[in-house]
Structure 1
Amino acid sequence: MQHDPHDPHATDTNVIQLPAPTAYPMVMSLGIALMCTGLVTNIVIGILGLVLTLWSIVGWFLQVFPHEAHIPVAVEIEPIEISTSRTLGRRAPASEKPRLVIPVETFQITTGIKGGIAGGIAMTVPAGIFSLIKYHSFWYATNLLAAGGFVSWAGASDAFLSEFHLRGALAALIIHGLTSLLVGLLYGAMLPMFPRWPILTAGVAAPIMFTVILHSGIGVISPILNQRIDWFWFFISLIAFGLVCGYVVNLHTKVRTAQFRALPFAVRAGLHTDTFPVIHVDAQEKKDLDHKDKDAQQ
């Protein structure tokens, strides 16, 4: 915002000078667009675009030099009164301990990997029982999982999926193995956040969450799996995975994180709590604080 010395309103304190509006930038954009269009259509359109571009450049330049064009805008002066309804209270002393990052103890990465392997093996038991009961073949669930990676298997029959296929077994092993490892790592990082009910979290809450997520997105990931999956047995398989994985993970000892090592020695040794000290205020001091609160409100 500048004051134009050539404007009679420049000395008026109730008026401010703002840059004048201009349409030349839009005209220049139109001209450039027409020049580009003329390259693939007709030279006449390109010439028209060139004329508009040059005209907008000159017009825009004259609005800035030798003096920038401004317009006066009236200003209404309105007094502002700043007030607050907050009361003045005494603050508790800040703790020397750094801010906590929960959890201060967690599992090692290898713990999650072991839990994922154990849970993946346990998950194959309900899946195999489902295949044997409904299709009289252990390989149906294996091939159904592998079908998501083979486009040619999208329209495969139940008889085809019930047979043993080496390619399908290898694909299912890779898919199931990698998924189990990733979920095992997730369990290793997640369970320390719920230390009171780890088995309930791993065996019930997590399978419900994973089932809901997969149910909403399985149609995009694998259409054939979306058409033929049995959600009841899939949920049972997830519960088996969660219970075994959570049990294996909780068998291992947690390791201290860098946040725990940053705590004061008295807290790490159990000699001192990490709570704030209690502030005792006598009657006279309380009366003085009340007076300060009333003065602050006024």
Structure 2
Amino acid sequence: MPASTAWPILLAFGITLSFASLVTSVGVGIGGLVLVCCAVAGWAKQVLPEEHHEMIPVKARQFTPSSVRTQVAHIQVSEVHRAFLPVESYAVTSGLRGGIAGGIVMIFPALLYGYLTQHSIWYAVNLLGGAGVAHWTNATTADIAAFHWNGLITATIIHTAICTLIGLLYGAMLPMWPRRPILLGGIVAPLLWTGLLHSILGFVNPAFNARIAWGWFALSEIVFGIVAGVVVTRSGKIRTHQTLPFILRMGIEAKDFKGPTGDRR
């Protein structure tokens, strides 16, 4: 049997301390990072290059099968003999496409907000990339509304990473919502996400929280969710065969590949 280990629990505790440092102190975050590094190293030693195992004693017992039947019925195994739930699912690449498409479209409400309120399309960009804007700790509204290369680069990196991760999440979770996936993934989920950020951002970053127009923020999230949901749901589904290679489960086709039922894919 696989050897028991406490490293996963310590890793989870270290990650918890790292995020708790956002509302406590830097020392808590440093302790969490140290614990994360130790847990990752210790866990890796237990699974690489070979997994550690422990011997479990097995007691043998005599068993004589008996039956009153004179014939044995053979089960005809077919593709529908055992169902995998969900039977069909979206490919991982469809979630990536949805996240990229939603991330591109949601830029326009954000730029429109900056133009209407501050007469600058760079206002929302610099808010997102606030850590890279010059003099951010004492930044004025005019400084945030101006163009900054470092703010643009930081905002682009943050926006791309978040949209990609949420797109992957959509691709994984939309099959769990067979009814009205656009309503749940495009409206309900963005509103819940906006409410969560609104409740904690005042403690994490009060300066950032004071400058966010939450109505426009929710609108941008809803636009992202609807577009990403539409792109994902219109993508073709693939059958969820656990025996298929990982490359096929990602939705990447291979020529002349014969599936478990003999069909070519």
Task: Give the TM-score, by structure 2 length.
Answer: 0.58
Shift in CA distance, 148/106, structure 1 to aligned 2, threshold 3 Å: farther
In structure 1, the residue matched to 2:43 is none
In structure 1, the residue matched to 2:116 is 133
% identical equivalent positions: 46
CA apart distance, 1:220: 4.9
Shift in CA distance, 258/237, structure 1 to aligned 2, threshold 3 Å: same
Decide which structure has the larger Cα Rg and report it: 1
User: RMSD of aligned C-alpha atoms?
Assistant: 2.3
Q: Is the 8 A contact 2:123 2:144 kept in 1?
A: yes
Structure 2 counterparts to residues 174-253 of structure 1, below 5 A? 174-253=157-236
Structure 2 CA distance, aligned partners of 1:186 and 1:149? 28
Shift in CA distance, 133/198, structure 1 to aligned 2, threshold 3 Å: same
CA apart distance, 1:188: 0.8
> Does 2:143 match 1:160?
yes
In structure 1, the residue matched to 2:92 is 109
In structure 1, the residue matched to 2:6 is none
Structure 2 CA distance, aligned partners of 1:146 and 1:250? 31
Structure 2 CA distance, aligned partners of 1:134 and 1:179? 25
Q: Is the 8 A contact 2:89 2:240 kept in 1?
A: yes
Q: Is the 8 A contact 2:110 2:216 kept in 1?
A: yes
Name the aligned partner's letter for residue 147 of structure 1.
G
Shift in CA distance, 113/204, structure 1 to aligned 2, threshold 3 Å: same
SS of 2:139's equivalent in the other structure is coil
Which 5+ residue runs of structure 2 have no aligned equivalent?
1-76, 245-260
Structure 2 CA distance, aligned partners of 1:246 and 1:176? 18
Which 5+ residue runs of structure 1 have no aligned equivalent?
1-95, 262-267, 269-298
CA apart distance, 1:224: 2.7
Return 220-229 or 181-190, whichever deviates more: 220-229
CA apart distance, 1:110: 1.3
Structure 1 CA distance, aligned partners of 2:216 and 2:121? 14
Structure 1 CA distance, aligned partners of 2:201 and 2:238? 36
CA apart distance, 1:193: 0.9
CA apart distance, 1:199: 1.2
SS of 1:188's equivalent in the other structure is helix
Q: Is the 8 A contact 1:148 1:225 kept in 2?
A: no
Structure 2 CA distance, aligned partners of 1:162 and 1:115? 30
Q: How many equivalent residue pairs?
A: 166
CA apart distance, 1:259: 5.5
Shift in CA distance, 192/157, structure 1 to aligned 2, threshold 3 Å: same
